[in-house]
Structure 1
Amino acid sequence: MVVIRNHQEFESHLGKEFGISDWHTITQEQVNQFADATLDHQWIHTDPDRAAVESPFKTTIAHGYLSLSLIPYLWKQVVDVQNLKMEINYGIESLRFGQPVLVNSEVRLRVRLSGILNLRGVTKSTIAIELEIRDQKKPAFTGEAVFLYHFNG
């Protein structure tokens, strides 16, 4: 795990890969809970019996936004940003979904620092992200996550 305590340490990683998170299994229970939280109960996500018959994937799939919501959790497995007053999810840029994540698939996040700015003492970091699916060539998504870090002192 990479530990970062200030802007200069962050900046030293520009253009470099930070690493890869652990594998995380997407379960039907997690998909159902996400459906409840977002009020998106489309059958392709929540009805395994119907999906087995009608879906081209023959199983349920995770919501695209569920896979995106894993970014902070998986990011924190790779990089430990310390000495913070505050951290803000600022945006996602150039996002492309490559393929769906089937329920019971394992995913992991590959991250690289693609850009960094010092905005009057606030670090704006742009992190190239790719959600890999175990045993699949194409990722679930690629893009750039943008975080703002307010370091102490």
Structure 2
Amino acid sequence: MSENMEKTIGEVGRVDWSHFSLADFLELRWRLLHDWQAVLPGGEYFGQARIGDVCYDIQIEWLADDELAVTMSPFFPHDGDSAEPPYDELVSGMPYDTQHGASLISSRRSFLELTYESFIDLAEHSILETVARFPHLQSAASKQTGFWDRHDAILCKIREQDDEDR
């Protein structure tokens, strides 16, 4: 591990993979192997990796008409003092932002060559390098406010209610 990587870990901590299990990895892998043509245009969500208040959503999505990729896009709580509007707000009162240029992308073919352990190692290294390059990500990664736990709990309740209303 490089000295810069150790410094980043010391400042922001380690990546939490509890929201992307081996079962999630295997489901994603199965989808890429056996049913990849049916992936919807908007992509499909499979889990997330977190580091502090940064959440990297793990999805498969079409980057071009014929190019399917595994993407990891970072999101973090919106800074209320920012002059910029938030990127999105799925839960009322909990806006969030993303960092352009900080997404991690793996081609379908490259991803299928990885084991769960090698994916975790590669992704964690890439996440830590990326966080170190972007001040907004580094700041959010160094905080642990529980934003995403609260956000996801509320979002699950909203979706359950929507399902019941159908």
* TM-score of the aligned structures, taking structure 1 as reference length: 0.31
Structure holding more strand per residue: 1
Bigger radius of gyration among the two: 1
Structure with the larger RCO, 1 or 2 (CA within 8 Å, 6+ apart):
1
Structure holding more helix per residue: 2
